[in-house]
Structure 1
Amino acid sequence: MARNPERRTALLDAAIEVLAAEGARGLTFRAVDARAGVPTGTASNYFADRDALLAQTAVRVHERMTPDITAITGLLTQEPSRAVVTGLMHDLVRRMVAERSGYLAMLELKLEATRRPALRESLSRTVRDDLDANVRFHLATGLPGDEDTVRVLYLGLTGLLIEHFTLPDVLTGTPEALDALVETVVERALPSG
């Protein structure tokens, strides 16, 4: 297996773009090579098989979707409140909108995981660890709500983003509509008082 980390990352980023544009069925070594602009056969030098490519693409998607803590530091210096949670959720949605290909690729990976037990196992572990880390972060920073609040926010925003990326004209045809729905999700998860 080839060991150029920059090339590996470029190939994984190309795989994300292929998944987002063509779905899991379109994810082939040849398609990744073409998207990355490298000679045919390059991806097969970096990934033993399609399962390895899928698993490593899932890891790369999570790397790209992980927030930069410095970007939300301003929110975290404020007194913990529903307004801070709302700000964090707006930041999350803005990041996902900016990372549209990554989000769509993750949806494709989740669908593919229903057919591939090894991918399901690794992806479940990654998503569960991520959700657990979000719960710990929420509780450690003193934000209002409990573990169930974080889970409801996760489920609400996941559903909202899926709808936004797949059928935006149903609920979120404009950025203002998307922002308003984020606020509604937080209000329902964290009622005032």
Structure 2
Amino acid sequence: MLGGMCAEWSREYRFFGRIGVPTAMVLFVLLPHLDPLFNGAEFRQFENHWEKEVCTQSKPYSSGPAATASILRRFGKNGVEERIARKTFTSQNGTHPWHLSRFIEKQKLETTFHLQEPARGIIVSSLAQIRKSDGLHHIAILGNNTNGQFLVGDPAFGEFVFDKSALTNRYDFSGLLPRACLKKALENWR
């Protein structure tokens, strides 16, 4: 009886192995792309609103596209929040950093990802992922000056200037600093 049960289980397992494993792998790869289909962003309600050098987010979930628009404008590229949100599969759950990175690269700018604590150094020209009480948020670190201050574009609040300690006290960095390691260096902004 035990042998029959094992043989029966073995047949089912082979079927699962042939069909189930590839299906599971395809679903795993497609899940990030399916989120916008089921929980899509309200693109018609997006505005392209700027406060000085910072694109402000139109929706609570659009900080990634807005911060990306701020970085692109800093380098003379056209950054429109709605267009970026559409191209980066933004959903009501937000935008994945690798989609933002891919979009920046399509604008003929290089990107690199750095897993780094901000205490080791703030990376200029970066999209920094930060933790907030309601989830993750993106900010743009647009530049620095000779006084050790950083120009920060927060899509939720606008433009700020912080020294390093104030910056790390205000924001809880997730440790992932997807740097828009853009080919040309920014000059001092002041």
TM-score, structure 2 length as denominator? 0.29
Structure index of larger Rg? 2
More strand by share: 2
TM-score, structure 1 length as denominator? 0.29
